[in-house]
Amino acid sequence: MVATAPFLPTVPEGLREAILAWYDARGRSLPFRGTTDPYAVLVSEVMAQQTQISRVAPAWTTFMAAFPTIADLAAASPADVLRAWRGMGYNRRALNLWRAARVVVDEHGGRLPSEVAALERLPGIGAYTARAVAAIAFGSPVGAVDTNVRRVLGRAIGGAIDAFPPSELQRVADVAVPADRPADWTHALMDVGATFCRTTQPLCGECPALAFCRYAAASPAAGRVGRVGRDASPAPRFTATSRWLRGRILDRLREVEGTGWLVVDAPIGGHDRAAIVAALERLASEGLLELDPASPLSARLPVG
């Protein structure tokens, strides 16, 4: 029996054109969208992981001013990189970006590789980031799939967010890319997903993909202007989380000049001494700080 390839839905005719036309007229204007420099694109994509674009834009400008080239980043100390990352959260991304820069300088002559597979081998660079860099910086017709893109393509092409399993979704994303505008397509899908194609409150009636979207065609409520779906959940109390505590500890350490130690006094918010010691040990295990052997509450940013 001859094996057959899994069924791959076609891209609705007019979908690409409608999304790109909207992007040309209404897409978000962001400082890093004005460059195709691979390093600058990589920094923006790493910053954008799990972070609102409104926070990324000023942080990217500041970071690029501090480390204008990948060689500058590779030559910096991890402490300086973490200081420049202040306000972004998910600080392991900063160290992974620094490690990736060192690999690029040591193994690739200071030039980011253009192939997806080679990009994925860099520290902290996953499938989405590798494909986003390949599409935006190198013009490769590959689809970068994150949660925003999954919603847009799942609904528009498959009729539901979860229409495609991950392996098939990547094939769909690659097929959907217009060969002549992979960079704009990558940005446009992100904007449509963030602006209209939300998880529980999609603004289908305002979406440029409305007339070509299989989800909208099957949903009576989707054609009206405004939100459909259930109300958003109450915002969590971030000050009670270990992530919040870890961020506050690193912010304190960023204030220390040079390589001096800082005693992290308790309490911080509602977190007592035991919670702070646990957070310090976890941060140290991730390479985000160094602990003073003389004191469980004394720490500094990594120096090398």
With CA atoms as reference, report the closest residue to 284 among 271, 269, 301, 272: 301
Rounded mean pLDDT of 257-269? 85
Q: What would the two tokens of residue 301 be? A: 């940013």
**Residue 229 pLDDT exceeds 80:** no
Q: Does the model's pTM come out above 0.75?
A: yes
Q: What is the dihedral of CA 64, 68, 74, 76, to 10 degrees?
A: -70
Q: What is the DSSP letter of 204?
A: G
For the segment 85-124, what is each residue's pLDDT rounded down to a tens digit?
A: 988 888 899 999 999 999 999 999 999 999 999 999 999 9
Q: What is the pLDDT of residue 227?
A: 46
Q: What is the mean pLDDT of residues 229-234?
A: 42
Strand order in the sheet with 290-291: 262-263, 298-300, 290-291
Q: Is the pLDDT at 41 greater than 50, yes or no?
A: yes
What number is the average pLDDT over the span 179-196? 95
Compute the 3-state secondary structure of the chain and give helix, strand, coil in percent, each to the nearest 5. Answer: 55, 5, 40
pLDDT exceeds cutoff 80 at 219: no
For residue 14, give both structure tokens.
């007019």
What is the per-residue DSSP string for 148-197? HHHHHHIIIIISSTTSS-HHHHHHHHHHHS-TT-HHHHHHHHHHHHHHT-
Query: Is residue 45 among the annotated active site residues?
Result: yes
| CA-angle at 85, arms to 79 and 89, nearest 5° | 115
Domains and CATH numbers, the chain: 27-138 (1.10.340.30), 147-223 (1.10.1670.10), 238-300 (1.10.10)
Q: Which of 13, 17, 45, 168 is catalytic?
A: 45
What number is the average pLDDT over the span 43-62? 91
Q: What is the pLDDT of residue 182?
A: 97
